Amino acid sequence: MESVVDHLAFERNKAQFDVNDMKIVWAGSRQEFELSDRISRLVASDPVFQKDNRTALDRKELFKNTLRKAAHAWKRIIELRLNEQEASKLRSFVDQPAFTELHWGMFVPAIKGQGTDEQQAKWLPLANNMQIIGCYAQTELGHGSNVQGLETTATFDPKTDEFVIHSPTLTSSKWWTGGLGKISTHAIVYARLITDGQDRGVHGFIVQIRSLDDHLPIPGITVGDIGMKFGNAAYNSMDNGLISFDHVRIPRNQMLMRVSQVTREGKFVHSGVPRQLIYGTMVYVRQATVADASTALSRAVCIATRYSAVRRQFGSQKGGPETQVIDYKTQQARLFPLLASAYAFRFVSEWLKWLYTDVSQKLQANDFSTLPEAHACIAGLKSLTTSATASGIEECRKLCGGHGYLCSSGLPELFAVYVPSCTYEGDNTVLLLQVARYLIKTISQLCSGNKPVGTTAYLARVEQLMQYQSDVKRAEDWLKPNVVIEAFEARAARMFVAVAQNLSKFTNPEEGFQEFSVDLVEAAAAHCQLIVVSKFIEKLQQDIPGNGVKHQLEVLCSVYALFLLHNHLGDFLSTGCITQKQGSLANEQLRSLYSQVRPNAIALVDAFNYTDHLLGSVLGRYDGNVYPKLYEEAWKDPLNDSVVPDGFKEHVQPILRQQLHNARL
C-alpha cells in the first residue's frame, strides 16, 4: 500500500482465506466496498485533510483547522458532484468532528421528520445549500436523559402571532449542542410549549441564533462554547455550545408542526399524523450508532493486531528474535474476542439497517405493531455495542504496551472521541432499563396470549426454556449454532423470569422496579447479547462466497459467543443452563479457537480496508514499519523546536546554579 517494503508480508501469507472477498463481506456489498475504497483514498491523498500533529494544537488553532477542513470538504463535494451518500462518506473519512455533522445529521433530519410540507419547502433548500447552518438544541445544563424535564419555554403570544422562547433558570440553558458554540446560524430548540397558560409538553422550534450579515448573536440570545472536552484534539474540534434566551420572539410558523400545531388563535391541536412517525428519526440515529461502534472498534483492533505482530518481547531462543506478542495466549485472549466483536457488531448493524427500513415502511402504512419491539431492540443494541466498543478501544491501547499511550498510536484520540457515545443518544444504563421494562411487560402478557415478536420471539418458548439443560458433552459441541443459541436463550429467559418473580412480590410495581433495577439491567444485557449472537449466526446461514471466508467467520462467531459465555459464566451456572463441566469445555474450545484465529489475524484486520490516513496510527501502519516512524514522529513535537526549552533559563537554570534565593521565580 503506502510503502515499498511490507514488513507484515509474512503474516499476510499465512492467511487461510481470500482477503479481497472478506473485504466485500465487511463492506456489505461490492458497491459499498468500492464507494468506501474510492472516497477514503480521495481523502487520504488530499493535503488539506492531513492529520499531522493535530493533537499538539491549542484549542483555537485546532478549531480553525477544522473550519478549513469542513470548508474544503464542502468544496470537494460540490466540485466532484458527490451524491448524499458519497458526501457523507467523505465527511466521515475526514475524521475530525465538525459543525457539519450536526447540520447534516440532526438539523436537516429533524426538519424532514417533524416539519410540515410547507416548512420543509421553505427550510430544506436553504439547509441543503448551506445558506444556513443548523444544530439541534435539546439537552440543558440541568437536564439530559429526562427530556420531559426540560425547562426552556416557548409561550405563544396571540397578539403578535409569535412564540416567546425563554430560559427561566440557569439550569435551563441549552448545553452540549454541537455546532452551536461558534458557527450555527439556526437551531432546532426543544422547549415546553405554553398556550393559554397551559403546558403542552416539549416541542421543537426553528430559531435563528446569529445574524446572517455579521454572525453576531440575535438580541436576547447569549451563546458560546462550553469549553474543553476529554482528550487531545478529539471532540475539541467541535464547538459544543451553550445558549440562553431572554424572551426571544419567533414567528408561529417556526414551530415544527407535523404532529402538533398551534393555530393563529392559539389553539393547540393534533394533526392527523401519528406521533409514532417521528420516532423514525430516533430509530435511524440509534441504528447508526451501532454501525459506528463496529467502525471504531475495528479501527482499534486493526492497530492493536498489527502492532502485536510487529512487537516482540521475551522468549528469544539462542539469540534469535524474541516472540511476537501476538503469539502469547494472554494477548490472544484479550485481542481476538475484540476482533470477533468488531465483526459481530458489523453484522448486527447490517441487520439493523434492514430493521429500520422494515419499520419505516410499516410506519408509512400506519402499522405500529412492531415499533415497540424494534425500539427496545435498537436501544439495547446501542447500549451493548457502544459500551463494549469504548472499553474495547482502551483494551486495545493497553495491548500496545507503553507506546499505546503516545498520541502517535492513534488510540488515545480514538478513545476520547468515542466514549461520549455511551452517554449521548440515551445513557447506556437508562437504555437497558427501557429494554428490561419492555421484556418484563412482554413476559407478563404471555398468559393473556400476546405473542412476542422479532427478537423477543424466543420468550414464547419460556416454559420449554425453563426446562432446558445443555447437552454439550465434548468441547466441539460448543461449535454447533443451536447449542449456543439455546444456552443464550435459556439464560436470558431465566434471568427475566427470576426478576419477574421478585417484582411480583411488590404491590407498587415502580418500587419493585427500583429495588431490582440492577438485576433488570443484567437481564437486559443478557437479552442483547443473545441478539448479537443470533444475528451473527443468521448471517452465517446465508451464502457467503470467497475461498475460506465463511469458515473464518464461523470461527469468529464461536469466539464471540464463547467469550461472552466465559465472561458471564456466573449467569449460565446460576440459572442452571449449563454445568460446571460444560463451562470448562467451552473454555477449552475457546483456547483452540484462538489458535485458529492466529494465522488469519492480520488478514482479518486488512479486510477492514482502512487507509493509514484513517487509522492515523504509527503502530497500526499497513507496512508494519513501526519503529523508524515512531522515531520520526517524536521529532515533530513542538517541544523539539528548540534544544533548550522555553522557561529553562528562567525557571530551571537558577536552581542548577544555586541562585534560587536571588532569582525571581
The answer to whether the annotation marks 139 as part of a ligand binding site is yes
CB of 213 or CB of 543, closer to its own copies: 213
If one asks whether residue 568 binds its own copies (CB under 8 A), the answer comes out as yes
If one asks whether residue 314 binds its own copies (CB under 8 A), the answer comes out as yes
Q: How many residues can be counted in the chain?
A: 665
| Distance of alpha carbon 361 from alpha carbon 460, whole angstroms | 26
Tell me how far, at minimum, the Cβ of 497 lies from its own copies, in Å. Answer: 14
Tell me how far, at minimum, the Cβ of 539 lies from its own copies, in Å. Answer: 28
CB of 9 or CB of 655, closer to its own copies: 655
**Cβ-contact 193, 255 below 8 angstroms:** yes
If one asks whether residue 280 binds its own copies (CB under 8 A), the answer comes out as no
**At which residue does the C-alpha cell 478549531 appear?**
63
Tell me how far, at minimum, the Cβ of 590 lies from its own copies, in Å. Answer: 9
Q: Which amino acid would we find at residue 92? A: S
If one asks whether residue 637 binds its own copies (CB under 8 A), the answer comes out as yes
Using DSSP, state whether 205 is helix, strand or coil.
Answer: strand
CB of 35 or CB of 67, closer to its own copies: 67
If one asks whether residue 407 binds its own copies (CB under 8 A), the answer comes out as yes
**Cβ-contact 101, 285 below 8 angstroms:** no
If one asks whether residue 9 binds its own copies (CB under 8 A), the answer comes out as no
Tell me how far, at minimum, the Cβ of 24 lies from its own copies, in Å. Answer: 34
625: alpha, beta or left, given left = phi > 0 and alpha = psi -120 to 50? beta
CB atoms within 10 A of CB 433: 18
Residue of 28, 109, 158, 217 interacting with its own copies (CB under 8 A): 217
Nearest of 182, 212, 219, 192 to residue 138 by alpha carbon: 192
**Helix pair angle (371-399, 517-540), 10° resolution:** 90
Tell me how far, at minimum, the Cβ of 148 lies from its own copies, in Å. Answer: 8
| Distance of alpha carbon 587 from alpha carbon 566, whole angstroms | 7
103 secondary structure, DSSP code: I
DSSP string for 524-566: HHHHHHHHHHHHHHHHHTS---STTHHHHHHHHHHHHHHHHHH
From the list 60-68, 87-95, 357-365, 608-616, the region that binds its own copies by CB under 8 A is: 60-68
Site for its own copies in 70-109 (CB under 8 A): 70-72, 74-75, 78
CB of 3 or CB of 131, closer to its own copies: 131
Query: How many residues sit in the footprint of its own copies (CB under 8 A)?
Result: 138
Please report which helix (H) or strand (E) contains residue 581, including its range.
Answer: helix 580-597
CB of 298 or CB of 331, closer to its own copies: 331
If one asks whether residue 633 binds its own copies (CB under 8 A), the answer comes out as yes
| Distance of alpha carbon 639 from alpha carbon 55, whole angstroms | 13
Tell me how far, at minimum, the Cβ of 307 lies from its own copies, in Å. Answer: 12
| Distance of alpha carbon 558 from alpha carbon 494, whole angstroms | 23
CB of 20 or CB of 323, closer to its own copies: 323
Tell me how far, at minimum, the Cβ of 453 lies from its own copies, in Å. Answer: 27
Tell me how far, at minimum, the Cβ of 262 lies from its own copies, in Å. Answer: 23
Residue of 10, 118, 655, 659 interacting with its own copies (CB under 8 A): 655
**Helix pair angle (279-310, 329-364), 10° resolution:** 160
If one asks whether residue 145 binds its own copies (CB under 8 A), the answer comes out as yes
Catalytic residue among 413, 425, 486, 522: 425
Please report which helix (H) or strand (E) contains residue 385, including its range.
Answer: helix 371-399
If one asks whether residue 580 binds its own copies (CB under 8 A), the answer comes out as yes
Residue of 194, 460, 540, 569 interacting with its own copies (CB under 8 A): 569
218 secondary structure, DSSP code: P
Residue of 96, 173, 177, 442 interacting with its own copies (CB under 8 A): 173
Is residue 425 part of the annotated active site? The answer reads yes
CB of 251 or CB of 638, closer to its own copies: 638
From the list 10-18, 212-220, 458-466, 482-490, the region that binds its own copies by CB under 8 A is: 212-220
Nearest of 458, 520, 491 to residue 583 by alpha carbon: 491
From the list 152-160, 354-362, 389-397, 550-558, the region that binds its own copies by CB under 8 A is: 389-397
Site for its own copies in 424-453 (CB under 8 A): 424, 427, 429, 433
Q: What's 294-353 look like in SS3?
A: HHHHHHHHHHHHHHHHHCECCCCCCCCCCCEHHHCHHHHHHHHHHHHHHHHHHHHHHHHH
If one asks whether residue 1 binds its own copies (CB under 8 A), the answer comes out as no
The answer to whether the annotation marks 241 as part of a ligand binding site is no
Report residue 119 as a C-alpha cell: 416548512
106 secondary structure, DSSP code: I
Residues classed as catalytic: 425
Enumerate the known binding-site residues for FAD.
Answer: 139, 178
